[in-house]
Amino acid sequence: MQDSRTGATKYEDSLAELRGEFLQRYGSIPQIFRAPGRVNLIGEHTDYNDGFVMPAAIQFYAHVAVAPQKAQRIRVHSRNFAESTEFTLTENGGAPRGHWSDYIRGVTGVLKAQGINVSGADLMIHSEVPVGSGLSSSAAIEVATALALLALAGGTLTRIEIARACQRAEHEYVGSMCGIMDQFIACFAQAGRVVMLDCRSLTYELLPTTEDVRIVICNTGVKHAHASSGYNRRRADCFAGVSTMRAHGMPTIQALRDVSSASLEGCKGHLPELVYRRCRHVVTENERVRAAANALRVRDMDTFGRLMYESHMSLQNDYEVSCRELDLMVDIAHTVPGVYGARMTGGGFGGCTVNLVRIDAVERFIATIKREYAHRTSTSADVYVCFAAQGAGAVEEPRD
C-alpha cells in the first residue's frame, strides 16, 4: 500500500490479521481481493451527464477475503462494522434496505442476472477507505466483491463489464443513481497516473502526476449519504434541463455533455432558474475538465489550481452540494502559500476536499488546516497525503 519498507510491513501485517480472523471465523484460508478508493481532481457531477472527469485511485483499499462453502448462501462479515449477515442465493433480491450489505447483495444479484454461476461463499470485508467521505468506499467494496465472487465462480467479465455491473448494483440495490466514474477508476487505475475519462464512450487518457506536487485530502468529518442527500434530485434536474432544451431548439442533444455554455445561455429563458443553475454547473464543469487536462499535459499547475477553485464555487453556488465545513476548508487552503488549488470532491454535502500542494509546502499546509479548522469548528480534521495508486486486483500471497 505504501512505498516505504515500514508501510509495506504494516500492510502485510494487516493482511495477515485479515487471513487469521477469516480462518478463525470460517475455518478456511481465503483468497483476498482489493479495490481502491478514489479522489476526483476535477469534474464533479458530470459523470451521469455523459461528461468528463479526472479521478485518480488512492492508496486506501477495500479488501474482500473469500472462500467457497457448500451451502447456497453468502455469509459476510464486516470488520469495520463488527457485524455479520447472510442471505441465500435465491433470496438476495429486493429493494434497498439502507444497510452496508446492500452492496454485497447487489453485486451478487447483478452477477447472477448476467449469467455468472455465483456459488456459496464466505466473505470478510475490511476497508481502509473512510466511509461517507466522498472517497468512493462503496465502489471499492463493490469491485472487490465482484472480483472475489467471479474468482470462485470461474466467471470471466471484462473490466468494463465489471464496472457496469457494480454501477447497476448501486442503482438497483442501494438506490443511488451514480455515474460510472467510481467503479471505472477502481477497475482501470494505474499507479502514478490520473485518468481523463469520457463517461459516454468510456475512452480515457492516462496523464502523469507531477513529482513536485502532492494530492492532499482533508476530511471534514461531516458524513453524507447519496441516496438521501439530494444526489438523485440533482440528477433529475439535469435530465429535466435536457428534456426542456430538446423541446426548444436542441432536438439532437442526448445529455448535458452535448451542451455548450453559449447554447445553454440561449435556452435560459425556457428553463426554471434552479434547473438552469444545475445545468450551468455541469456544462461549465465539463469545460473546466478539458482545460485542466490541457494544463496538466504542459505542467501548468497554476492554471489547474485556478480551475479547481472555480469548480468549487460552481458546486457551492450553482449545484449547491457543498456545506459550511467544505467551504471553510477551501477558504483556509486559499491562504496557504504553495497550494495550487482546492475544491470539494465527491458527491458533496460533507466529505472531503482535494488539494494540490507543492511538496515543500505540505507540512505547512497540514498544520494550517488542522489548526484553523479546529479553531473555527471545534472539530479535528483528518488529513491524508496521497499518491495515485494501482487499481483493483488479487492480493498476492506472502512469499517465504
Q: What is the pTM of this model?
A: 0.87
Instruction: Classify residue 395: in a domain, yes or no.
Output: no
Of 86-100, 184-198, 328-342, 372-386, the least confident: 86-100
- Please state, in angstroms and rounded to a whole number, the distance separating the CA atoms of residues 379 and 382: 10
Same domain, 182 and 34: yes
Instruction: Classify residue 397: in a domain, yes or no.
Output: no
Same domain, 241 and 333: yes
Q: What phi and psi, each to the nearest 5 degrees, are found at residue 35?
A: -145, 145
Same domain, 291 and 269: yes
Last residue of a domain, one of 171, 206, 241: 206
Alpha helices in 251-387 (DSSP H): 261-266, 273-297, 301-317, 324-334, 362-377
Last residue of a domain, one of 182, 206, 230: 206
pLDDT at 398 over 60: no
Three-point CA angle 213, 218, 224, nearest 5°:
135
Domain count along the chain: 2
Q: What type of residue sits at position 383? A: V
Same domain, 213 and 303: yes
With contact defined as beta carbons under 8 Å apart, do 288 and 311 qualify?
A: yes
The CATH number given to whatever domain includes residue 121 is: 3.30.230.10
Mean pLDDT, range 288-307, rounded to an integer: 96
pLDDT score for 1:
38
pLDDT at 222 over 90: no
Higher pLDDT, 65 or 230: 65
Phi-psi region of 146 (alpha: psi -120 to 50; beta: other; left: phi over 0): alpha
pLDDT score for 315:
98
pLDDT score for 227:
38
In tens, the pLDDT along 299-357 reads 999 999 999 999 999 999 999 999 999 999 999 999 999 999 999 998 888 889 999 99
Which of 47, 50, 102, 182 is an active site residue? 182
Alpha helices in 79-153 (DSSP H): 101-113, 137-153
**pLDDT confidence tier of residue 93, bands split at 50, 70 and 90:** confident
With contact defined as beta carbons under 8 Å apart, do 104 and 122 qualify?
A: no
State the number of CA atoms in the 13 A half-sphere of 140 facing the CB.
Answer: 32
pLDDT score for 179:
83
SS3 content of the chain, % helix, strand, coil (to 5): 45, 20, 30
Same domain, 11 and 108: yes
Q: Which domain holds residue 321?
A: 209-386
Sheet of 213-219, strands arranged across: 339-345, 352-358, 213-219, 382-386
Last residue of a domain, one of 206, 240, 260: 206
The single-letter DSSP state of residue 103 is H
pLDDT score for 6:
58
Decide: helix, strand or coil at residue 234. Answer: helix
In tens, the pLDDT along 131-172 reads 767 788 999 999 999 999 999 999 889 999 999 999 999 999
pLDDT at 399 over 60: no
Mean pLDDT (the chain) is: 92
Q: Which residue from 38, 43, 40 is spatially nearest to 311, judged by alpha carbons? A: 43
Same domain, 187 and 215: no
Same domain, 215 and 327: yes
pLDDT score for 4:
42
Grid cell locating 209: 502526476
Q: What phi and psi, each to the nearest 5 degrees, are found at residue 395?
A: -90, 125
pLDDT score for 7:
65
| Burial per residue of 203-220, b for 16 or more beta-carbon CB atoms within 10 angstroms, e otherwise | ebeebebeeebbbbbbbb
In tens, the pLDDT along 245-277 reads 999 999 999 999 999 999 999 999 999 999 999
pLDDT at 391 over 60: yes
**pLDDT confidence tier of residue 396, bands split at 50, 70 and 90:** confident
Same domain, 244 and 376: yes
Decide: helix, strand or coil at residue 164. Answer: helix
**pLDDT confidence tier of residue 3, bands split at 50, 70 and 90:** very low
In tens, the pLDDT along 178-213 reads 888 999 999 999 999 999 999 999 999 999 888 899
Is position 327 annotated as part of the catalytic site? Answer: no
Percentage of the chain modeled with pLDDT above 70: 95
pLDDT score for 2:
42
